[in-house]
Amino acid sequence: MSDASLVEADTEARELLERLVSTPSPTGEEAACAAALVEFFEGHDRDVYLDEVGNVRAPADDALLLTSHIDTVPGDIPVRVEEGESGPALWGRGSVDAKGPLAAMAVAAVRTGVSFVGVVGEEVDSRGARHLVEDRDAPGALVNGEPSGTDGITLGYRGILSGTYLATSESGHTSRPENNAIQDAMDWWNRVVEEFEPEDEWDPVFERVTAKPTRFEGGPSEDGLSVEATMDVGFRVPPSMTVEEVREVADGELDPEVGTVNWKDSVRPTMQSPRTEVARAFRVAIREQGLDPRLVRKTGTADMNIYAGEWDCPMVTYGPGDSDLDHAPDERLPLADLDRAVAVLTDAAGRLI
């Protein structure tokens, strides 16, 4: 990687990033940060507006759409610039996930004349991305903004399936041998986890189904006549399987006389080809910055899953930042990485329009 001191500081991008990070925007409270983005585009004489759900939309050359999310997870990290190993870094909630990518894309969009959308709600239900795919046609190509590192091109994300298991049993003395609802819930979950154990322990996490309980409540009912158990569960789904196949496995381990599952959110996995024109444009643009491109697969889920599920166009995810700092108490972005990311985005966009 080239020395940070050799990268020319992008004052406009750095100022926008600091303003966005200094404007808190936890999910559901994005309005002030969205207004700052609108002002940035208006200052560059770009058409821009807020749509029905609060997305910031700046339509232009639709050969390419740059999009990232405005919302962050909760957490107060004092915003400041501190010197680090690779030069000055901006600390603050959202500096990595995903206001670094958001700021880089906004600057690249005004410099190249491509379309831009800042979406809301990504950290909870992706309501901004879901509204977008319902409200407009697919662009020629799409770049989703999430931290991949300035040299990383993210091509794949696992999908997600979530639901709530419910069980009820008659109350009885704890000396009785029969299972109660709590034991039934635990038994079902253990059977499901066993079904998804990898055959080869060396299989990459990206290729596995990851099953996690996320909340459990159990005990006597209010009237004391039964025992109840409620368990929220989530599955990360690799591209080698469908969400429906994972659900069938989990349902297949149910005893319908004991418990049921109310299935809720589901998002398909996605794995994009490294040979599309947008992936090629990013490889070239990254090399122009003196970096070696990396092709990345993420074990989580992002808005790109939503776009890939509805739009038939080439896409990648790209953005500055170390994803290990997502949601972390020490979240920070080296400003030289922001500078490089703007240069990469601007170069790649120029090759695609």
Residues 167 and 313 in one domain: no
Residues 281 and 147 in one domain: yes
Identify the CA nearest to 57 among candidates 119, 126, 141: 119
The 3-state secondary structure of 251-265, one letter per residue: HHCCCCCCEEEEEEE
Give the SS3 label for residue 109: helix
For β-strands 152-157 and 294-298, DSSP reports them as parallel
Contact 90, 332 (CB under 8 A): yes
pLDDT tens digits in sequence order for the chain, 353 residues long: 444 445 789 999 999 999 999 999 999 999 999 999 999 999 999 999 999 999 999 999 999 999 999 999 999 999 999 998 889 999 999 999 999 999 999 999 999 999 999 999 999 999 999 999 999 999 999 999 999 999 999 999 999 999 999 999 876 545 456 788 999 999 999 999 999 999 888 889 999 999 999 999 999 887 777 899 999 999 999 999 999 999 999 999 998 888 999 999 899 999 999 999 999 999 999 999 999 999 999 999 999 999 999 999 999 999 999 999 999 999 999 999 999 999 999 999 999 99
Q: Which positions are annotated as active-site residues?
A: 71, 122
Residues 329 and 237 in one domain: no
CATH code for the domain of 113 = 3.40.630.10
Domain boundary residue among 237, 252, 267? 267
CATH code for the domain of 184 = 3.30.70.360
Residues 248 and 309 in one domain: no
Contact 92, 101 (CB under 8 A): no
- Distance between terminal CA atoms of the chain? 28
Name 186's Cβ contacts closer than 8 Å, sequence gap at least 6.
Answer: none
Per the structure, the count of domains in the chain is 2
pTM recorded for the entire structure:
0.91
Residues 145 and 185 in one domain: no
> Helices (DSSP H) in the chain: which residue ranges?
11-21, 31-42, 99-112, 127-135, 181-195, 243-252, 277-288, 303-310, 335-352
Q: Which amino acid is at 61?
A: D
Give the separation between CA 296 and CA 283, rounded to whole angstroms: 12
